[in-house]
A and B are shown apart, each in its own frame.
Chain A
Amino acid sequence: MSLEIINTPIFATIQDKGRFSYTHIGVTHAGVMDEYAYYIANMLLGNKKDENIIEIAFSNVEFKANTNTQIAVTGAFCEIFINNEAKNSWQTHNLKVGDIVKIGKFLEGSKVYLAVKDGFKIKKEFGSYSTTIKENLGGLNANRLQKGDVLKINSHNLFHTSRLKKSFHPKYEDTLLLRVVLSYQDEYFSDKEKQKFFSSEFTVSNEFNRMGCKLKGEAIKCDIDGIVSEGISFGAIQIPSDGQPIILLKDRQTIGGYPKIGSVLSIDCFKLAQAKPNTKIRFKQISIEKAQKKLKEFYNSFN
């Protein structure tokens, strides 16, 4: 009972919420880049909230069902074909033995999530299913999915289809407004530089991966060149000496020595995860109280 990968995916990995409590020895958090799409996919299937999932970062993944099951596809709007018949995302699909599923072109957004009923039957490593290739941890053999990989699953029959209401579908827009709490070294950025940071428009560069997202735009100057290396939070905004911000994401290094002006609210990092090179970015300051309220609302909405 399994799903079998039948083409060569460019970059698809098994992820979950992430690997926690090993940061102090340098192990990154990992986990899905877009938690919204992740929770919805598992919710549609009635899975455990933190069940594992496939994160697909580039188009064209094909697999074959070797058993009856149900899948959910969320995240980037993309072509989905089951035995060459076009299907929609943000809903579940029933599969029968022998069905061929193809995730084709991405139309809007940049990360597709594919969940299966009851999750993939693989072993957790250090508390998580998440794959971090450079740490040789998690996933299937700690690697991206390869042609011929067989992912064990449970067999399921006769499900009604669940869909996410259209009004809850995300919009992957060309301009993103990211909310930022000032933090870390913010006092080493003058009022003028902070004002520049919050009023300029930046662009997502090609240096955008699971570790982080480098932006292009007007250079932001910090009064200090570097700091003694310290722990880095999800969403932290590093300003290296070239003044181009780097937003640190799920596979970020655990400590680092660049000054940081603040941190992007996690929920907005999930939106950033769906951006592409040339997406426009603006920042808006938010208080820590408001940020925590927003994040609680986000997590509460899945309960």
Chain B
Amino acid sequence: MKIKVASVDSLIIYFGDKIDKDIAKKVKNAYLCIKKLNLDGIIEIVPSYTSILITYDIFTYDYETIKIKLEELINLDETQEDNSKLITIDVYYGTEVGLDLQSMSEKTGLSIEQIIKIHSEKTYDVYAIGFLPGFGYLASVDDRIALPRLSTPRKSIPKGSVAIANTQTAVYPQASPGGWNIVGRTAFDFFDKNLETLSPISVGDRVKFNPISKEQFLKQGGVL
């Protein structure tokens, strides 16, 4: 664990420098630990793959004080009570919404059915959230369907699109430009103003995709 200045009122804690399950576990553990400490003057805690960015009130702490405090209080050996959730997302994997299924099938030599099976049988970890509110970076996608981003990004990807970029998968919480390979669509809201937390997912949660029929998708309010 290494703590560095990020800006005048923020610092960043590094736990490693590559995307890795063990590093992610340390991030999650430290994140839960910092949240539990509930220190006054901590404004933001932003976990990502290998790091946690902390914004603090400079009237409460100067950099050296908060750095020493965190070094003392974050105990990586103590496993935190894990209240992370397993979220099941119903996905309609039809070719009219899975815009890249056909080209992915051609590129990988797998049938569309095989691609769907491979994508939906794994449970993914939420490594980071960003890019758009509620956009969770989920990993790791099976190597057989881990295709790179499109060379020309789409101007608009429909809300709810389920997509793959290399070993990561994600759901677009709103319509947005983007270059990921689209395999399906969900009616599940990842950014919901009616939720107190705004988004149902947190870093450290797990996500599983569940294939559903077109009829079920439409019944759930899905839009083609």
Q: Is the CB of A266 within 8 A of B9?
A: yes
B50 lies within 8 A of chain A by Cβ: yes
Q: Is the CB of A26 within 8 A of B8?
A: no
Q: Is the CB of A292 within 8 A of B62?
A: yes
Q: Is the CB of A255 within 8 A of B128?
A: yes
Q: Is the CB of A24 within 8 A of B45?
A: yes
Tell me the interface secondary structure of chain B in the complex.
loop
B191 → chain A, closest Cβ, in Å?
8
Tell me the interface secondary structure of chain A in the complex.
mixed
Interface size on A, residues (CB 8 A): 42
Q: Is the CB of B7 within 8 A of A235?
A: yes
A136 lies within 8 A of chain B by Cβ: yes
The interface stretch among A35-43, A45-53, A176-184, A192-200 is: A176-184
Residues in A with CB closer than 8 Å to B48 are: 228-231, 255
Residues in A with CB closer than 8 Å to B12 are: 183-184, 230-231
Residues in A with CB closer than 8 Å to B201 are: 25
Contact-size category for B: 35 or more
A20 to B45, CA, bound (A): 10
Within 8 A of B (CB), among A87-145: 125-126, 134-137
Q: Is the CB of B129 within 8 A of A25?
A: yes
Q: Is the CB of A231 within 8 A of B6?
A: yes
The interface stretch among B52-60, B70-78, B146-154, B208-216 is: B52-60
A256 to B12, CA, bound (A): 14
A254 lies within 8 A of chain B by Cβ: yes
Complex partner residue of A21 from B7, B43, B49, B53, CB under 8 angstroms: B43
Instruction: Kindly report which residue of chain B lies nearest to residue A227, judged by CB atoms.
Output: B17
Q: Is the CB of B130 within 8 A of A26?
A: yes
B186 lies within 8 A of chain A by Cβ: no
A159 lies within 8 A of chain B by Cβ: no
Residues in A with CB closer than 8 Å to B198 are: 22, 25, 27, 126
Residues in A with CB closer than 8 Å to B47 are: 24, 231
Residues in B with CB closer than 8 Å to A126 are: 198
